[in-house]
Amino acid sequence: MKQQICILGSTGSIGTQALDVIRQHSDLYEVYCLTAHNRVEQLAAQAHEFKPASVVIANETHYERLKELLADAPDIKVYAGASALEQIVEAAPIDMVLTAMVGYAGLAPTIRAIKARKKICLANKETLVVAGELITKLAIEYHAPILPVDSEHSAIFQCLVGEDMNEIEKILLTCSGGPFRQFTADQLATVTAADALKHPTWDMGAKITIDSASLMNKGFEVMEAKWLFGVPADKIQVLIHPQSIVHSAVQFADGGVKAQLGVPDMRLPIQYAFSFPRRLRLDGPRLDLFGQPLAFFKPDLTKFKCLALAYEALDKGGNMPCILNAANEVVNAAFREGRCGFLGMADIIEQTMLRTTFEAAPDYDTYVRTDAEARRIATELL
Ligand code: NDP
Ligand code: MG
């Protein structure tokens, strides 16, 4: 029996690479559902190739166009809107849901997929940033496994295979440092989105590439690691590792450190999340350890204030990470559109964290309320 996969965000960087994995292993995997937000032509082309049972376009204004494009494929059901996207993950034949959509919008469908007891291949890290406690609780309650797709977390997960009995002493979370690693504060003041979009080692979607340049992405990943592996923040150390070869490591009680290494290729963590505990063949370049030396540095929290703010949000807990995420989504989009400077992003996030109502014990409704309030405040501050 082939595993049936639902890809939320199939037109993005992770989504298209996941389809490449499925293409290479069509004997094991089948696409049950594909979803996108705006890129309707690309979604239709994917549907023609993979013949899923259904497709969903989140932006309803593209519904008629998608119907038209798929008029020659009457077996593919076409839906539109955020609530259709939330419903589709519950379809009985689906075995795994790959959450490859970007931002807070991933939270609701991920919760629905967990409650439907699907295996979650989690790329959408914002889900764990916003509601890590709730998601982990639900995953246990509904027996829904969460497999990490983020490269660092996949690396940690791979290091933990066979270590069920052993306590983690420390997680070593690596970070390329982004394109501005060696910039001075003065230089950072004038960088543009075009500069930030030139990531030195990874080719990713626009939002996460900006988050990688500001190191907010690493702050998010500390939170993601905390929830996925049940390790407190003070046992998660961030290391700047410009070569992006060591994807992360785990230190155990005997001082032993296990790391996972490889070329930067997201298809490996995507495929591993699908196939765990098996390793399948993946064609592509292989690591050449003679190629370059490995270096590791401490991150500069004064220069990269977003990482400091993420630590602060983590320390405060409650709905503070949700506030941080909402403000970040607003300023990240504004920076890409030239409406906010690079350093201005951290200032607005900090102000939003001070002004949004803090709640120490949030539930789902709190997150919805907090996200809306923080977005409104960050937008006003802009
Ligand atoms: P992209 O921007 O490349 O793709 C995002 C996907 O989500 C697209 O299919 C997009 O549709 C869809 N989408 C965007 N907004 C919405 C919405 N409101 N409702 C429904 N669908 C939406 O992002 P990435 O693939 O880079 O990242 C996806 C997630 O994976 C993010 O959470 C990111 O942090 C995480 N991640 C990504 C990595 C990478 O290498 N790219 C590495 C580790 C984690 P459309 O194309 O139509 O706009
Ligand atoms: Mg990562």
pLDDT one digit per residue (tens) for the chain, 382 residues:
999 999 999 999 999 999 999 999 999 999 999 999 999 999 999 999 999 999 999 999 999 999 999 999 999 999 999 999 999 999 999 999 999 999 999 999 999 999 999 999 999 999 999 999 999 999 999 999 999 999 999 999 999 999 999 999 999 999 999 999 999 999 999 999 999 998 778 889 999 999 999 999 999 999 999 999 999 999 999 999 999 999 999 999 999 999 999 999 999 999 999 999 999 999 999 999 998 899 999 999 999 999 999 999 999 999 999 999 999 999 999 999 999 999 999 999 999 999 999 999 999 999 999 999 999 999 999 9
Q: What residue owns the CA closest to ligand 1's atom 16? A: 37
The verdict on 49 and 124 lying in the same domain is yes
Q: Which pLDDT score, from 0 to 100, does residue 203 have?
A: 85
The verdict on 256 and 185 lying in the same domain is yes
Give the chain's domain count: 2
Last residue of a domain, one of 257, 288, 316: 316
Q: Which pLDDT score, from 0 to 100, does residue 291 have?
A: 80
Last residue of a domain, one of 284, 316, 348: 316
CA atoms 341, 151, 111, 135: torsion sign: negative
First to last CA, the chain: 52
Q: Which pLDDT score, from 0 to 100, does residue 314 have?
A: 97
Q: Which pLDDT score, from 0 to 100, does residue 238 have?
A: 98
The verdict on 161 and 127 lying in the same domain is no
The verdict on 161 and 310 lying in the same domain is yes
Q: Report yes or no on 326 lying in a domain.
A: no
The verdict on 312 and 164 lying in the same domain is yes
- Range 321-346 burial, b when 16+ CB lie within 10 A, else e: bbbbbbbbbbbbbbbbeeebbbbbbb
The verdict on 90 and 109 lying in the same domain is yes
Residue 365 corresponds to which tokens in the numbers above?
């409704």
Q: Which pLDDT score, from 0 to 100, does residue 124 have?
A: 98
Q: Which pLDDT score, from 0 to 100, does residue 201 have?
A: 81
The verdict on 127 and 166 lying in the same domain is no
Q: Report yes or no on 308 lying in a domain.
A: yes
The verdict on 160 and 299 lying in the same domain is yes
- Residue 12 Cβ inside 6 Å of ligand 1? The answer reads yes
Last residue of a domain, one of 277, 297, 316: 316
Q: How many CB atoms lie within 10 A of CB 251?
A: 18
Q: Report yes or no on 361 lying in a domain.
A: no
Rounded to the nearest angstrom, the distance between the alpha carbon of 281 and the centre of ligand 2 is: 22
Rounded to the nearest angstrom, the distance between the alpha carbon of 252 and the centre of ligand 1 is: 34
The verdict on 210 and 272 lying in the same domain is yes
- Residue 329 Cβ inside 6 Å of ligand 1? The answer reads no
Under 8 Å between Cβ of 172 and 257: yes
Q: Report yes or no on 359 lying in a domain.
A: no
The verdict on 300 and 166 lying in the same domain is yes
Q: Report yes or no on 371 lying in a domain.
A: no
The verdict on 65 and 178 lying in the same domain is no
Q: Report yes or no on 115 lying in a domain.
A: yes
- Measured from the Cα of 202, ligand 1's closest atom is 40
Q: Which pLDDT score, from 0 to 100, does residue 105 have?
A: 97
Closest to 185 in 3D by CA, of 302, 290, 267, 299: 302
- Measured from the Cα of 16, ligand 1's closest atom is 25
Q: Report yes or no on 92 lying in a domain.
A: yes
Q: What residue owns the CA closest to ligand 1's atom 45? A: 37
Q: Which chain residues have CB less than 5 Å from ligand 2, an ion?
A: 150-152
The domain that holds 108 is classified in CATH as 3.40.50.720
- Residue 345 Cβ inside 6 Å of ligand 1? The answer reads no
Q: Report yes or no on 365 lying in a domain.
A: no
Structural domain range at position 278 = 153-316
The verdict on 78 and 177 lying in the same domain is no
Q: How many CB atoms lie within 10 A of CB 265?
A: 16
Rounded to the nearest angstrom, the distance between the alpha carbon of 221 and the centre of ligand 2 is: 7
